[in-house]
């Protein structure tokens, strides 16, 4: 587990009351050099007061809007499956502006989720899937991410496995790859003391053909190397260039350290994948990515490489999160010139031509080293796919990617796009 220094630590009484959850909390505290008394016991009625006292009402804004990277407070709770209290009354008692998502996390919402992402999704071309979250909040401090200040950590993982993970795998046999904690956290920061990865590695190793996907920016992989994964755990790294890593993702290991972690996992038999995500077009980005691609393809043999230019927000917000002086002046100009046109466009705020320039450069660089490795666009528009499909050799209907629900190890092209049970009544249309 990372050597965190949480400014505040709490544990909900519902977590302390369950022996395995309590032991998990004690293990995590011990890894931080703390005794069990370090986490103050609280209950749900105290949530508005905790948020007020610690200034967490803005904790789900993008971290770059909150100033410098702040240490992460920890709140240990449980996922609640049958008796979730209503969020609204608690939210109404919280300071104005508090995120309902944070209140829900503290109340025990979470676990199984459905990503309804298809060709028609506003987020761009992606694939619908069942996915899971047990931690909300992350120490990596990425300035574009709203996972700062406080992490809510669910500790009833054995119950979660039996009530949600195994039933989902059995109900969705078409889904071969399941992603965990990709929304607002990074599981490896809390391992091995958290113990989710071991449970999932062992469970998916027992299935016929389904996989656990670890999506990470961490290099904390030592504990994975000896696990009996049987090829049913895939490790996927998001990578950025040096400058972005230092200035935009201040709590992460460097790209070199992540590539080295990938090499170790590959040696231990894990299928490994990369996403260059998010690509931040800093001054000198071409040379940074040329070096990064050369390094990663000389040290590892990934199953695929994805490309994604920083998005998810309008131009004003991006300039609020990231020092504009960091950006390549031509890209900063494009950002500002197209700010109005790109408002509300999920693939924005960089316009199509700027994004296409980056993707074209990166595909050329990858192909200089490897003619064969599958390259894909991550949550890009249909228009971008139309432009690049001839060069990539695949399109929205058949590409394989890093975290796609059907993208089992070794697959190079999809025959048919399938969707979760809840969505079958309205199948995807291309």
Q: Which residues bind ligand SF4 (CB under 6 A)?
A: 138, 140-142, 145, 147, 184-186, 217
Least Å distance between CB 370 and ligand SF4? 26
Is the bond into 67 cis (omega within 30 degrees of 0)? no
**In terms of Cα–Cα distance, which of 261, 7, 10, 48 is closest to 148?**
7
DSSP symbol at 327: B
How do beta strands 305-309 and 40-42 pair? unpaired
Torsion of CA 223, 225, 228, 232, to 10 degrees: 100
Question: Cβ distance 406 to 174 under 8 Å?
Answer: yes
Q: Which two tokens stand for residue 44?
A: 């749900």
Least Å distance between CB 185 and ligand SF4? 5
Q: Closer to ligand SF4 at the Cβ: 75 or 142?
A: 142
**In terms of Cα–Cα distance, which of 45, 130, 53, 150 is closest to 93?**
45
Q: Closer to ligand SF4 at the Cβ: 185 or 233?
A: 185
Q: Closer to ligand SF4 at the Cβ: 127 or 217?
A: 217
Q: Closer to ligand SF4 at the Cβ: 265 or 310?
A: 310
Least Å distance between CB 214 and ligand SF4? 12
Least Å distance between CB 239 and ligand SF4? 12
Least Å distance between CB 217 and ligand SF4? 5
Q: Closer to ligand SF4 at the Cβ: 141 or 349?
A: 141
DSSP symbol at 60: T
Q: Closer to ligand SF4 at the Cβ: 186 or 303?
A: 186
Least Å distance between CB 136 and ligand SF4? 9
Least Å distance between CB 385 and ligand SF4? 24
Q: Closer to ligand SF4 at the Cβ: 81 or 256?
A: 256
Q: Closer to ligand SF4 at the Cβ: 140 or 275?
A: 140
Long-range contact pairs involving 51-54 (C-beta distance under 8 Å, separation at least 24): 51/94, 51/95, 51/98, 51/102, 51/103, 52/94, 52/95, 54/7, 54/8, 54/149, 54/150
Least Å distance between CB 292 and ligand SF4? 17
Q: Closer to ligand SF4 at the Cβ: 249 or 380?
A: 249
Element (H, E) at 339: none
Question: Cβ distance 291 to 328 under 8 Å?
Answer: no
Give every CB contact of residue 225 below 8 A, 6+ residues apart in sequence.
Answer: 264, 265, 268
- With vertex at residue 61, the alpha carbon angle to CA 58 and CA 64, rounded to the nearest 5 degrees, is 115
Least Å distance between CB 70 and ligand SF4? 12
Centroid of chain to Cα 282: 22
Least Å distance between CB 89 and ligand SF4? 29
Q: Closer to ligand SF4 at the Cβ: 48 or 147?
A: 147
Distances (CA, A) of 55 to 3, 89, 97: 23, 19, 11
Question: Cβ distance 130 to 179 under 8 Å?
Answer: no
d(CA 91, CA 94): 5
């Amino acid at each position: 587990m990372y050597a965190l220094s949480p400014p505040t630590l709490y544990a909900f009484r519902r977590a302390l009351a369950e022996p395995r959850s309590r032991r998990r909390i004690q293990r995590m505290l011990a890894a931080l050099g703390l005794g069990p008394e370090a986490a103050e016991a609280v209950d749900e009625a105290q949530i508005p007061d905790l948020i007020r006292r610690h200034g967490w009402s803005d904790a789900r804004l993008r971290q770059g809007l909150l100033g410098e990277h702040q240490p992460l407070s920890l709140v240990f709770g449980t996922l609640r499956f049958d008796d979730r209290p209503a969020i609204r009354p608690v939210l109404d008692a919280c300071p104005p502006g508090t995120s309902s998502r944070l209140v829900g996390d503290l109340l025990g919402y979470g676990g199984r989720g459905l990503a309804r992402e298809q060709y028609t999704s506003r987020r761009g071309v992606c694939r619908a899937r069942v996915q899971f979250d047990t931690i909300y909040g992350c120490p990596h401090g990425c300035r574009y991410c709203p996972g700062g200040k406080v992490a809510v950590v669910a500790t009833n993982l054995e119950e979660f496995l039996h009530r949600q993970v195994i039933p989902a795998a059995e109900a969705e046999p078409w889904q071969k790859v399941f992603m965990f904690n990709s929304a607002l956290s990074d599981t490896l920061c809390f391992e091995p003391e958290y113990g989710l990865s071991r449970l999932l590695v062992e469970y998916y190793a027992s299935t016929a053909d389904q996989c656990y996907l670890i999506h990470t920016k961490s290099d904390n992989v030592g504990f994975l190397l000896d696990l009996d994964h049987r090829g049913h755990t895939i490790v996927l790294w998001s990578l950025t260039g040096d400058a972005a890593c230092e200035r935009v993702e201040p709590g992460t290991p460097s790209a070199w350290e992540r590539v080295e972690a990938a090499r170790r996992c590959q040696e231990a038999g894990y299928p490994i994948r990369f996403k260059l995500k998010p690509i931040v077009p800093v001054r000198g980005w071409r040379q940074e990515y040329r070096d990064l691609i050369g390094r990663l393809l000389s040290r590892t043999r990934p199953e695929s490489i994805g490309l994604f230019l920083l998005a998810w927000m309008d131009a004003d917000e991006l300039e609020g999160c990231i020092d504009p002086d960091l950006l390549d002046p031509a890209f900063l100009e494009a950002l500002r010139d197209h700010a109005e046109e790109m408002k509300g466009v999920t693939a924005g705020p960089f316009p199509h031509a700027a994004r296409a320039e980056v993707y074209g450069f990166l595909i050329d660089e990858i192909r200089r080293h490897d003619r064969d490795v599958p390259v894909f666009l991550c949550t890009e528009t249909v228009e971008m796919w139309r432009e690049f499909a001839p060069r990539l050799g695949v399109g929205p209907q058949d590409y394989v990617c890093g975290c796609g629900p059907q993208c089992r190890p070794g697959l190079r092209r999809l025959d048919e796009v399938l969707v979760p049970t809840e969505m079958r009544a309205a199948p995807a249309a291309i």
